Amino acid sequence: MELLDSIEVIKNIGKTRADQLKKMGIETVEDLIEYYPRNYEDRTESVSIKEVEKGEVNTIKARVIVKPEGRKVRNMTIISVRVEDKSGGIDCIWFNQPYIKNQLILGQEYSFTGKVVEKFGRLQMESPDYEIIKEGSLNTGRIVPLYTVPKKMSQKVIRGCIKEAIDQTEFAFEEYLPSWIVKKHNLCSRDFAVRNIHFPENDYNFFKARKRLVFDELFILQMHLLELKGNVCGKKSNVKILEYDDGEIKSILGFKLTDAQERVLNEVKADFKNGYVMNRLIQGDVGSGKTAIAMICSYLAVKNGYQVVLMAPTDVLANQHFKGFSEVFEKLNIHCQLLTSGLKKKEKERAYEEIKSGNAQIVIGTHALIQEKVEYSNLGLVITDEQHRFGVRQREMLSEKGENPHTLVMTATPIPRTLALILYGDLDISIIDQLPPGRQKVNTYAVDRSHYPRLYKFIKNEVEKGRQIYIICPMIEENDKLELKDVLSYTEDLNRNIFPSLRVECVHGKMKNAQKQEIMESFAKGEIDVLVSTTVIEVGINVPNASFMLIENAERFGLSALHQLRGRVGRGSEKSYCVLISDAKSKVAKQRLGIMCKTNDGFVISEKDLEIRGPGDFFGTRQHGLPEMKIANLYKDIEILKEVQQTAISLYQKDKDMKKTENILLKEKIYDIFNTKIKKICL
């Protein structure tokens, strides 16, 4: 059996089971072997029936003393059997598993593992795993793996299939890490790791196996990012920014920078001076003043004779930046140019000429900035806003428009330090961890739909005071299968029945850019009282007069998205509020919304979001071209990540093209996993 064989070569996997597994992304023998357990149960020790703990999972050894019985209750089949050991008896119950009636043998002793509950004065074990007691069992008498399984496939079946695959591919997992890395970090072999991550004989073996597999996963990812980004070791800069007098623009801005802003600005100036290309990420919560830093850095670049480009993810945000930059830089006789896909053909042609000639000293736009026809004049500084919305390659393409320009990346989406180390391994990270004086805390409440009358009354009162309102919905149009608020029907209901006297409009992602821009500008001018929207307003709209936000079906949004949305209010001098509407009863949903009510600190929220959601598709890692983690957990594995990064950088510095014999297998593995033709990795 080969690792790349179809899973159908494995015993007990026919077409039906293969199709079920393929829906979960498991197509080859290797995919199945690398389908790691989600949890484990320690079944190494059993208790007597007399000693079982109610409400807990117990393992017992007992004999079947009566023939299993089956009965129908409504549409459910219930199988029950009485089992006993020397200390007493207990009922075992299974739901909708009629085949069990014919599998349990009267008089046979089994090991049973399941949750014990008391019903009608009798103890019963619900849906237990069971197996005839024997040496080498996969399901009893050992640490037992638990998997996320497809419908109609049991844990026993998937355990058996994985064990069969491992046994039939013994020693097939070749060592692709250089031997010095394995030795330095005291890593076990890959073969040992694969066997013991599924069927560990003890805790020590499990932890050894897990460390190896986590190390491998993070190391391959880091090497791929180093190759992709290519900047860790530092490139010499041709951009000479020698003049740092920023007094003129600071006086135009008209406010004193916070200590945090000054610290970050000094870090950027130090980057300008050191002779290497700057690659810096500025993280700052909503309203912390990142744009002011970007303006001052742009001013310094222009004053030293260089062109600046700022790329934003949406037309709306690009237009907002253009307006803000123009207001400041026109007073300094510095020309700003807008370039977005929404411009008319003649406007675009004129923009191309202004950019190429250098008359446009600061260029602001969207993805249109990286089109082939756009030529820059002496590009010295590249700024990207809301970087997590761009792929790595898009940022790289923009930088390639100049000769190693400095790069400044901004995001108002607080990213946990652990994830930032992964996504931005090539960037120095600056954090603006201080809000300007007067920035309002937004009071946040989580309530259910019974509060609508009070909320609608509060909204009317706010509008009467001259304030404006956001209402956020998770969907654009009504969906019969999902009972969620949608923008279109909700807006109609508000206009007709709830707020007939107010000016209510809606905006969503399916609208043309010009239409979205028009509505948002009307809202900004105070011509709309209530704006109903999807997350399209998450970034890119600044309305200080907006004092209240209502978020429908709040449980449908990630914590970081909720925090970004909430950041649209509280931007003025008036007290602001955010109300999260949710009827969700789950513990996790209540926990998440509770976090939003307790803190306005985006970094605390992002850490909690990562902790709750795990390392899956967090902050759009797929958009960065990164795979989902199979075993590494960015919240728990920070220490291993630190080891990995130091080692990856060391290897990259010694052999960045991975041409040495000891690195060839690693190079092939990286290529196989990412299936890409990025230069330097491509074979």
Q: What is the CATH number of the domain that holds 413?
A: 3.40.50.300
Tell me the pLDDT tens digit for each residue of 17-45: 999 999 888 999 999 999 999 999 888 88
SS3 content of the chain, % helix, strand, coil (to 5): 40, 20, 40
Q: Is 222 a domain residue?
A: yes
Phi, psi of 23 (to 5 degrees): -65, -20
- The DSSP 8-state label assigned to residue 100 in this structure reads G
**Tokens 């990142």 sit at which residue?**
290
pLDDT greater at residue 401 or residue 682: 401
Q: Is 618 a domain residue?
A: no
Q: Is 614 a domain residue?
A: no
Residues in contact with 526: Cβ distance below 8 Å, sequence separation at least 6, in sequence order? 468, 545
| Residue 410 and residue 309 share a domain | yes
End-of-domain residue from the set 546, 578, 599: 599
Q: Ranked by mean pLDDT, which of 172-181, 352-361, 382-391 comes out on top?
A: 352-361
| Residue 427 and residue 446 share a domain | no
Distance in angstroms (rounded) separating the CA atoms of residues 668 and 675: 10
| Residue 357 and residue 217 share a domain | no
Q: What percent of the chain is predicted at pLDDT more than 70?
A: 91
| Residue 404 and residue 255 share a domain | yes
How big is the CA angle at 399 (ends 257 and 365), to the nearest 5 degrees?
A: 65
Assess contact for 367 and 341: CB atoms under 8 A: yes
pLDDT given at position 279? 85
Residue at 7: amino acid letter: I
DSSP for 257-325, written as a single string: PPHHHHHHHHHHHHHHHSSB--EEEEEE-TTS-HHHHHHHHHHHHHHTT-EEEEE-SSHHHHHHHHHHH
Q: Ranked by mean pLDDT, which of 51-60, 410-419, 540-549 comes out on top?
A: 51-60
| Residue 391 and residue 381 share a domain | yes
| 15-28 exposure pattern, b = at least 16 Cβ within 10 A, e = fewer | eebbebbbeeebeb
- Cα separations in angstroms, 9 against 15, 165, 461: 10, 9, 68
Q: Is 49 a domain residue?
A: yes
Mean pLDDT, rounded, for 664-673: 88
Q: What is the CATH number of the domain that holds 123?
A: 2.40.50.140
Confidence at 577, pLDDT banded by 50, 70, 90:
very high
Q: Bin 121: left if φ > 0, else alpha if -120 < ψ < 50, else beta.
A: left
Q: How many domains does the chain have?
A: 5
Q: Is 240 a domain residue?
A: no
Q: Is residue 323 classed exposed, middle or buried when 0-12, 13-18 and 19+ CB atoms within 10 A define those classes?
A: middle
Phi, psi of 39 (to 5 degrees): -165, 180
| Residue 544 and residue 463 share a domain | yes
Q: Which of 575, 560, 283 is nearest to 439 (CA)?
A: 575
Q: Is 446 a domain residue?
A: yes
User: Which residue range(s) make up the domain with 71?
Assistant: 45-141
| Residue 469 and residue 451 share a domain | yes
DSSP for 207-243, written as a single string: HHHHHHHHHHHHHHHHHHHHHHH--TT--B-------
**Tokens 């001259």 sit at which residue?**
466
Assess contact for 147 and 158: CB atoms under 8 A: yes
| Residue 195 and residue 261 share a domain | no
Mean pLDDT, rounded, for 56-83: 92
| Residue 304 and residue 405 share a domain | yes
* Other Cβ atoms closer than 10 A to 236: 8
Distance in angstroms (rounded) separating the CA atoms of residues 140 and 131: 7
Tell me the pLDDT tens digit for each residue of 265-306: 999 999 999 888 888 889 888 778 899 999 999 999 999 999
Q: Is 410 a domain residue?
A: yes
Q: What is the CATH number of the domain that holds 15?
A: 1.10.150
Q: Is 616 a domain residue?
A: no
pLDDT given at position 36? 93
Is the confidence at residue 394, as pLDDT, over 70? no
| Residue 387 and residue 291 share a domain | yes
| Residue 639 and residue 587 share a domain | no
| Residue 120 and residue 65 share a domain | yes
Question: What's the residue count for the chain?
Answer: 683
pLDDT greater at residue 613 or residue 363: 363
Assess contact for 408 and 297: CB atoms under 8 A: yes
